[in-house]
Amino acid sequence: MIIWLNGTFGAGKTTTAGELVKLVPDARLFDPEVVGLMLRYLKVLPKVPDFQQWPAWRDLVVETAVRVLDHVGGVLVAPQTVLVKGYWAEIRDGLGKAGVPVRHFLLHTDEDTLIHRIETDTVETGARQWRLDHLPRYRDALPWLRRAAEVVDTTGVAPERVARLVASAAGYR
């Protein structure tokens, strides 16, 4: 199984993922962004502003997740923002064809909280403006995201509590 944590930057995906792997037996962190970073080294790919635009990224996220599960089993926790409906459909369908169940959660909070979290982040300070610039894309994606995922409101909720809510919804008490 894959527990996919979606949501915009600052919603709490990475922190929640870290807490979730402590709660779910045999859970492992699987970061699809690493696949994108790997692909950036291939100079033959066209330059794009977002590695998710490469079909290879979407294909390799699926293939990598399937192979990791084949080798180690358990549950993969994937904290990754996907704001393009078609990209999410490719990933979801690819995993489904491979027989991998996916629980898709949208970690959501109000915009004021998002802005505060982004502006006060002391870990990835270089990503501040990039994250702020992506808030309109998140707003635009919210209608389909709310239909495609189980929404978990992270406003004023500690990451440990968010992880417990996700774990419970995914069937891990």
* Cα 36 to Cα 47: distance, rounded to the nearest angstrom: 13
At 103-130, the pLDDT tens digits run 999 999 999 998 998 888 887 788 888 8
Which range (48-52, 75-79, 102-106) has the least confidence?
A: 48-52
pLDDT confidence of residue 129: 87
* Cα 50 to Cα 39: distance, rounded to the nearest angstrom: 11
The model's pTM: 0.95
User: Are the beta carbons of 31 and 79 closer than 8 angstroms?
Assistant: yes
Angle among Cα 139, 12, 136 to the nearest 5 degrees reads 15
* Cα 138 to Cα 134: distance, rounded to the nearest angstrom: 6
E strands, the chain, are 2-6, 27-29, 75-79, 102-108, 150-153
Which of these, 166, 135, 147, 169, lies nearest to 20 by C-alpha position? Answer: 166
Per the structure block, which two tokens stand in for 21?
């792997």
pLDDT confidence of residue 170: 97
pLDDT over 90, % of the chain? 79
pLDDT confidence of residue 91: 98
pLDDT confidence of residue 171: 95
pLDDT confidence of residue 117: 87
pLDDT confidence of residue 86: 98
User: Does the pLDDT of residue 57 top 90, yes or no?
Assistant: yes
At 126-159, the pLDDT tens digits run 888 888 988 999 999 999 999 999 999 999 999 9
Q: What is the CA radius of gyration of the chain?
A: 16
Per the structure block, which two tokens stand in for 131?
């994250």
pLDDT confidence of residue 17: 98
pLDDT confidence of residue 146: 98
Q: Which amino acid is at 122?
A: T
3-state secondary structure of 31: coil
E strands, 102-160, are 102-108, 150-153
